Amino acid sequence: MYNLFKLNNGLRVVVENIEYVNSVSVGLWVKNGSRNEDKNNNGISHFIEHMFFKGTKNRSALQIAECIEDVGGQINAFTGKEATCFYIRALDSHLDLALDVISDMLFNSKFLEEDIEKEKSVITEEINMSEDSPEDVLSDLHSTAIWGEASISLPILGTEKTVKSFTREQILDYINSYYIPENSVISISGKFDMGSIEKLVEKYFGNWNSTDKRVTEYSKPKLLSNNLFKKKSIEQLHISLAMTGIETGNEDIYTLLLLSNVLGGGASSILFQKIREEKGLCYSIYSYISAFVNTGVVSVYTSLNPKYAVDAISMIKDEINKFVKNSISDEKLIKSKEQLKGSYFLGLESTSSRMFSNGKSVLFLNRINTPEDLMEKINKIDRTKLDDVMQKTFCHGIINSAFVGESVDMAIVDNILEKEKVAFENIKNKSI
């Protein structure tokens, strides 16, 4: 049973009662991430996420962790490009405690100067660790290739320079501006009393307010045609290629997800079978979609010996070309719809995954996407939808790319991808 309601201060609350479980998951979602930042305060959203765990007027940092872990629960948080989420999973008998702890962190954190300075060192190490991960470096580099100077391209962790510049006053001002009820959602999933849940949430979050409100609105960034390379002394070359995608909230996202799965979603996918199994050029290759507010991309990732880079890119380009021309058979469509349903519903087997799904949906779309709704949307995918989405996305070809490794001949890469754009433009015009 679902319910969606709003407190008088504008805070949206989505609850899903699941009677047959003995746990409950609680999440505070805030529509705030690196996309809300600029080059001067980049990383402050992630920094604030860390600081909320450093102690409140009522609990020390240790006590925040202990009071949840001592009852067998889990507490954590994450920051993304567009949202920050603080969450707790525990036995249903500890719902009151979970709400108490999250509200205590939100309203009573101390933000001591000494803790801020310590956390600067911790996050600097996290940034350094990220620099040691080619995949992380590639992700940030490709964001720049895709969106250029737009805020959505900024790294979630920030930079060592920006992190070291944060002051207590700057942090508190930022929280007061963006951590507001109008930007937030409380998501609760699991076993609880539906009759008293509204009163319980009101108890802990009903007095939440702010004087300097900045309700989050995101612009529509342009997708750019950049091919970027970053030198790193590693054995393999890591490659990310992107095509036009679909934004959050667009119902075509399910059709695009199906097409992406066919192209590179698993061991039976086109790219895996061709590039790895048939040609043996790489160990890992896959495609995936990234959907954001007002923008989205489909990406293909692989890592391989640099000497195979040109061949691999050419083959990937050719396979996408064939994919656009041939689409998928009716038999494959039926199987792919079942795969999509299976992967989605198997992912909703826990209260935390249900909480994440509901919270994100309400935060960005202001509605609940029930499993039944999703089932209906997947069932409605037909040949017409496939062709329409193919025209909007894959038919544009590879529009930008990023490479991290010891070396790559970018002149050849630029030439291959430029020819690709011309070839796909011809396909698009013929289809029109």
Q: Does 422 score more than 70 pLDDT?
A: no
CATH number at residue 169: 3.30.830.10
Give the span between the Cα atoms of 195 and 192, in whole angstroms.
9
Tokens 């996309």, residue?
A: 35
Catalytic residues: 49
Q: Are residues 243 and 327 in the same domain?
A: yes
- Domain-embedded: residue 343: yes
134, 135, 138, 143 alpha-carbon torsion, rounded to 10°: -150
Q: Are residues 131 and 248 in the same domain?
A: no
Range of the domain at 261: 227-431
Nearest to 107 by CA among 174, 50, 52: 52
Give the span between the Cα atoms of 271 and 245, in whole angstroms.
18
Q: Mark which of 173, 205, 237 sits at the end of a domain.
A: 205
Q: Are residues 119 and 192 in the same domain?
A: yes
Nearest to 408 by CA among 308, 316, 332: 308
Q: Mark which of 171, 205, 239 sits at the end of a domain.
A: 205
Nearby residues of 154 by Cβ (< 8 Å), 6 or more positions away: 34, 35, 37, 38, 39, 42, 143
Q: Averaged over 357-376, what is the pLDDT?
A: 94
Longest dimension (CA), the chain: 67
Q: Are residues 113 and 188 in the same domain?
A: yes
Q: Does 431 score more than 60 pLDDT?
A: no
Q: What's residue 176's pLDDT? A: 94
Q: What's residue 213's pLDDT? A: 83
Q: Does 337 score more than 70 pLDDT?
A: yes
- Domain-embedded: residue 221: no
Which tokens hold the place of 1?
């049973």
- Domain-embedded: residue 213: no
Q: Averaged over 170-197, what is the pLDDT?
A: 96
- Number of residues written out for the chain: 432
Q: Are residues 191 and 278 in the same domain?
A: no
Q: What is the pLDDT of residues 60-117, one digit of tens each?
A: 999 999 999 999 999 999 999 999 999 999 999 999 999 999 999 999 999 999 999 9
- Domain-embedded: residue 348: yes
Q: Are residues 239 and 130 in the same domain?
A: no
- Domain-embedded: residue 370: yes
Number of domains present in the structure of the chain: 2
- Domain-embedded: residue 22: yes
Q: Averaged over 200-208, what is the pLDDT?
A: 97
Q: Are residues 195 and 233 in the same domain?
A: no
State the pTM of this model.
0.93
Q: Does 429 score more than 60 pLDDT?
A: no
- Domain-embedded: residue 211: no
Q: Are residues 60 and 97 in the same domain?
A: yes
Q: Averaged over 149-155, what is the pLDDT?
A: 97
Q: What's residue 432's pLDDT? A: 44
Q: Are residues 187 and 240 in the same domain?
A: no
Q: What is the mean pLDDT of the chain?
A: 94
Q: Are residues 271 and 308 in the same domain?
A: yes
Q: Are residues 390 and 292 in the same domain?
A: yes
Q: Are residues 276 and 168 in the same domain?
A: no
Q: Does 5 score more than 60 pLDDT?
A: yes
Q: Averaged over 380-405, what is the pLDDT?
A: 95
Q: Could you give the 3-state DSSP secondary structure of residue 148?
A: coil
Q: Mark which of 205, 236, 253 sits at the end of a domain.
A: 205
- Domain-embedded: residue 296: yes
